[in-house]
Amino acid sequence: MKGVYVLIVEVGNNIEATIGALGNVKFQKGLYAYVGSAQNSLEKRIARHKSRNKKKFWHIDYLLDSKDARVVNAYYKNAGKEEECQIAKKISETETLIPHFGCSDCNCRTHLFKIKDTSVVLKPGLIEFKE
Ligand SMILES: [Zn+2]
């Protein structure tokens, strides 16, 4: 399976985490949505995001390395990489941006958002990912 996915990440406390080259970023307790794409092995990518103790490669790996952050849900859509940024832009219309996160290789302002609730990710037509 390939496609675009959104991880719902719960941050259990107010934390500050070092996010690779981004440096220190503060995260308030709450729910976050991270938009990514996997143009092959979507299932493996989502499993990787949920796993602990891995090599850190993406910005999201650094956030998920915190004991206070965990993936609580994942949604996906069978779509090409271009839709990844369209979904990020759509979410940015209503949610709080965490600037420069996960968008090193595109022109988006971010691919991570602090969200009020998960309904925001359902609007672009994503469905829940179940193992
Ligand atoms: Zn983008």
Query: What distance in angstroms lies between residue 129's CA and the mean position of ligand 1's atoms?
Result: 21
Per-residue confidence in pLDDT tens, the chain, 131 aa: 899 999 999 999 999 999 999 999 999 999 999 999 999 999 999 999 999 989 999 999 999 999 999 999 999 999 998 999 999 999 999 999 999 999 998 999 999 999 999 888 877 789 999 87
Residue pair 83/127 in contact by the 8 Å Cβ criterion: no
Query: What distance in angstroms lies between residue 14's CA and the mean position of ligand 1's atoms?
Result: 26
Domain containing 106 equals 3-128
pTM assigned to the model: 0.95
Query: What distance in angstroms lies between residue 30's CA and the mean position of ligand 1's atoms?
Result: 23
CA distance 107 to 109: 7
Q: How many folded domains does the chain comprise?
A: 1
